[in-house]
RNA sequence: GGAGAGGUGGCAGAGUGGUAAUGCAACAGCCUGCUAAGCUGUCAACGAGCAAUCGUUGCCAGGGUUCGAAUCCCUGUCUCUCCGCCA
């Protein structure tokens, strides 16, 4: 959620930026917010004055009663009747204005960082780095779903029986490999100074609002209606919401967390070849990293996080590429995002395995996540997060590129975790 | 699931109808040769003002009663204790 103060002072540049970079016109909404805010402040001023008057009268009445001047007190009481009514009316319109402003603010996407290239779709994303893949194009590479069947690693049909499409069952070495990857990612995170967290997989409504899944993406989360809880679509939700309504001390920044969780996504409306095999699932595992930083440092932190995630991919010896998302492909809440994609030699396409974003104050404003500087000033912190990494697509790329005629090699770094060298 | 108790600032803890004591911690300033102690002040949100400052709001949340609510009433929620069930 954008800060209302920024709309007061930089209304036109916000409209211009979102239009030019994201190609979305928010001018009507922003102007509307601006006008409502003026009205709201005016209303508050009036309301405050009346309330102040009321407070004075009330204490006078109290005085009079104490002194036994019942008649005087009753006279004063009469004065309050009209005042009370007006206060009620003003309070009502104040609340209405406040609600309208917040509803509108929820609909405005984050203002892209100046580094974000303009663009409409993923075709306009900027490719910053790409491993050479020409030598990897060969018909002899099987796609991972064939490999999974051949070596009995992941059973998609069995998952359909037990739950439904998109809930595969990992078996034997497939399950062990998955567990090895999780452990590898967590250990690497710990080594890089991220505190490990083990998290709830269900969250309440407030948490859904805190990180921005609600109200916009309500349909994408599984909802447990009896208890009004949501299954998390990403570990970001429980991790970041730890800091909802929190003021942290500057000296405790940056805060760094890593956590493994399963992720649940309804993916309503996705069908076709994109969902084949491990490409898109309703339940998948992910290790997530989150950082909370001072505003002055978040930019640098984002680069470090990208570098860190790249290092994981490199250790797994996977070909990958790095993209800077253009305005049109940038998520609603992000100010700047880098995507990392590994190459799937069996499908001959790139798979998004990590999305690393700086949200600047967009999330912290909604979360009320602030920090106290050394001279006692309170200011919104910046939040960042990224996948490190999403398991299924890593698994897909990994299985495909390490296949040979009689099996699949396990990358060097994972062998201590799996206990076997090949499948 | 049943019964009971409770939710007050960063923490501890008073307040049961007159507008949030006190202690600890933290931070700033003063004092000091240094440290400790001491003294003074501050602590959340919103608004008005160039500013010092002022006003309003804030005692789990939302309603209600009242001139006035942390305090009384209703609803919700969470925590704790006991019982039941249980990994």
Q: Model ipTM? A: 0.83
Residue A376 contacts strand B, CB under 7 A:
yes
> Could you state, in order of their start, the residue ranges of all structural domains in chain A?
4-106, 122-418
Q: How far apart are CA A341 and CA A33, in angstroms?
A: 38
Q: Same topology for domains A4-106 and A122-418, yes or no?
A: no
What is the predicted pLDDT for the residue at A71?
Answer: 83
CA distance A234 to A261: 7
Express each pLDDT in A116-159 by its tens digit. 999 998 899 999 999 988 887 777 888 999 999 999 999 999 99
Strands A247-249 and A229-231: unpaired
The pLDDT score that the predictor gives to residue A369 is 86
pLDDT for A377 beyond 80: no
**Per-residue pLDDT at A175 exceeds 90:** yes
- Report the DSSP beta bridge partners of residue A343: A350
pLDDT at A256 over 70: yes
Q: State mean pLDDT over A254-280.
A: 83
As its CATH architecture, domain A122-418 has: 2-Layer Sandwich (3.30)
Concatenating the DSSP letter of every residue in A82-136 gives HHHHHHHHHHHHHHHHHHHHHHHHHTSPPPPPTTPPP-SSGGGPEEEEE---GGG
Nucleotide nearest to A59 (CA to C1'): B18
Asked whether residue A370, judged by its CB, lies under 7 Å from any atom of the DNA or RNA strand B, the reply is yes
Per-residue DSSP letter, A57:
H
**A65: nt with nearest C1' to CA:** B18
Q: For the purposes of burial, counting CB atoms within 10 Å of the CB of A296, is it exposed (0-12), middle (13-18) or buried (19 or more)?
A: exposed
- Angstrom CA distances, A189 to A183, A196, A259, A385, stand at 10, 8, 9, 13
A421 to each of A38, A388, A403, A410, A417, how far by Cα in Å?
A: 67, 23, 12, 5, 10
Binning pLDDT at 50, 70 and 90, where does residue A336 land?
very high
- Please tell us whether the domain made up of A4-106 is placed in CATH 1.10.287.40: yes
- Go through chain A and tell me how many residues it has: 423
Q: What is the pLDDT of residue A401?
A: 92
Rounded CA gap, A389 and A259, in Å? 10
pLDDT surpassing 70 at residue A375: no
pLDDT in tens, A206-217: 888 888 787 777
DSSP for A263-299, written as a single string: EE---TT--SGGGSTTSS-SEEEEEEEEEEE-GGGHH
- A129 CA to centre of own chain: 25
Q: How far is CA A23 from the centre of its chain?
A: 22
Answer for A374: CB within 7 Å of strand B.
Answer: yes
Q: What is the mean pLDDT of residues A397-421?
A: 93
Residues 247-306 of chain A with CB under 7 A from strand B are 247
Among protein residues, the one whose C-alpha sits closest to the C1' atom of B45 is A368
What pLDDT band is residue A271 in, cutting at 50, 70 and 90? low
Q: Give the span between the Cα atoms of A29 and A34, in whole angstroms.
A: 9
Bigger pLDDT: A377 vs A31 = A31
Q: Which nucleotides of B are covered by protein (CB under 7 A)?
A: 10, 18-19, 27-28, 42-48, 55-57, 67-68
Q: Over chain A, what is the mean pLDDT?
A: 90
pLDDT in the model for residue A242: 87
> What's residue A270's pLDDT?
63
A140 touches strand B (CB under 7 A): no
């Amino acid at each position: 959620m954008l800060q209302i103060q920024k709309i007061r002072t930089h209304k036109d540049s916000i409209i211009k930026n979102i239009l030019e970079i994201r190609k979305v016109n928010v001018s009507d909404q922003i102007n509307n917010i601006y006008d409502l805010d003026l009205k709201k402040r005016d209303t508050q001023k009036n309301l405050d004055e009346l309330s102040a008057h009321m407070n004075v009268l009330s204490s006078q009445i109290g005085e009079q009663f104490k002194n036994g001047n019942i008649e005087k007190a009753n006279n004063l009481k009469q004065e309050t009747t009209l005042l009370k009514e007006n206060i009620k009316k003003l309070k009502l319109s104040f609340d209405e204005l406040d609600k309208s402003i917040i509803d509108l603010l929820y609909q405005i996407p984050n203002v892209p960082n100046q580094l974000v290239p303009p663009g409409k779709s993923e075709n306009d994303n900027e490719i910053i780095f790409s491993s050479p893949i020409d030598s990897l194009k060969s018909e002899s590479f099987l796609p991972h779903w064939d490999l999974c069947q051949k070596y009995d690693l992941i059973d998609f049909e069995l998952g359909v029986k037990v739950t439904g499409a998109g809930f595969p069952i990992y078996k034997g070495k497939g399950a062990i490999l998955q567990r090895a990857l999780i452990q590898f990612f967590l250990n690497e995170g710990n080594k890089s100074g991220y505190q490990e967290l083990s998290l709830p997989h269900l969250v309440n409504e407030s948490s859904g609002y805190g990180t921005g899944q609600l109200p916009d993406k309500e349909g994408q989360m599984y909802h447990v209606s009896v208890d009004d809880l949501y299954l998390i679509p990403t570990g970001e939700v429980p991790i970041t919401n730890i800091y909802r309504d929190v003021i942290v001390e500057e000296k405790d920044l940056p805060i760094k967390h890593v956590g493994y969780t399963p992720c649940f996504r309804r993916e309503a409306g996705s069908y076709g070849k994109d969902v084949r095999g491990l490409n898109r699932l309703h339940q998948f595992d992910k290790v997530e990293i989150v950082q909370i930083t001072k505003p002055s440092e978040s930019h640098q932190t984002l680069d470090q996080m990208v570098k860190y995630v790249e290092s994981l991919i490199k250790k797994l010896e996977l070909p990958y590429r790095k993209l800077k998302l253009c305005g049109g492909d940038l998520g609603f809440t992000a100010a700047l995002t880098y995507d990392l994609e590994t190459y799937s030699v069996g499908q001959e396409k790139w798979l998004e395995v990590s999305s690393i974003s700086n949200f600047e104050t967009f999330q912290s404003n909604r979360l009320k996540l602030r920090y106290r500087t050394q001279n006692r000033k309170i200011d919104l912190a910046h939040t960042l997060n990224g996948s490190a990494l999403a398991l299924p697509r890593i698994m897909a790329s990994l299985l495909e590129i390490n296949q040979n005629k009689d099996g699949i090699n396990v990358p060097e770094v994972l062998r201590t975790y799996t206990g076997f060298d090949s499948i």
